[in-house]
A and B are shown apart, each in its own frame.
Chain A
């Protein structure tokens, strides 16, 4: 198939950046979206033009490294990561716009590559259980009811790609943060720090420049792992409890 690509090119963090149009011919529907970009880059390189920078690593939908706005949709038209999207989801002759995640908290580094370290800083603020290596009791000392274990698992599936932020009109990081809060709140091991955790994470989230949540729900729709929106309710409930108990 033949496609017209409009790709965001930006030489560096301080460069203004613009959309540049490329024609790519002979794309196989069996290619993944990123393989299609590999092909474009090989052709650009052959012509002496600098390849388009974009992030990816596992290309299996699990590391969270990839992430592109594809014609206005985070990770494109299917409910999956950009690396797992295949060209058979597009049609011959289509024009595709490719942009980086857009959010104040995710500054562009170059072309389609953004800086998502704000997510690490939210985790540093409390997204963990304080247990030093070697001090753990036997794993069977604390049974976890299956429903709690299941819900913790569903929340823990978050890959930290940032699609939720990119899809949200407010560029809020609440789905990401709610997923972590829910994962740890569902487990007995997460209880001792539960209140302090949520307060600290939320204040870091706000300080990093992420927007507030107004319950639009675009985050959950864009999430390649289908993290449900109710993790945000859990976060809000924990936050209310923490604040009313003086945390």
Chain B
């Protein structure tokens, strides 16, 4: 079990209990977190699960995957801490992870 904090663009914070093995996107969708659409269902093919990872957690979540890099590089909204939530696997290590959702998914 890992607690994940989702902060909406307006500051509203929600905490969910995620299962190791699922993705951060699945944890969000499964718990009705707004701001994540996940139109492709986790295939790294739509970029509508874009999140910004809190700086302190960047090392722990690991590097951007190749497929993610391709999708993120067509976005105007990309920042150094941009990730696709479907490509971050939940683990005990990530207990306490903080991510912010963008105002709009594109």
Partners in one complex: no
Residues of A within 8 A of B (CB): none
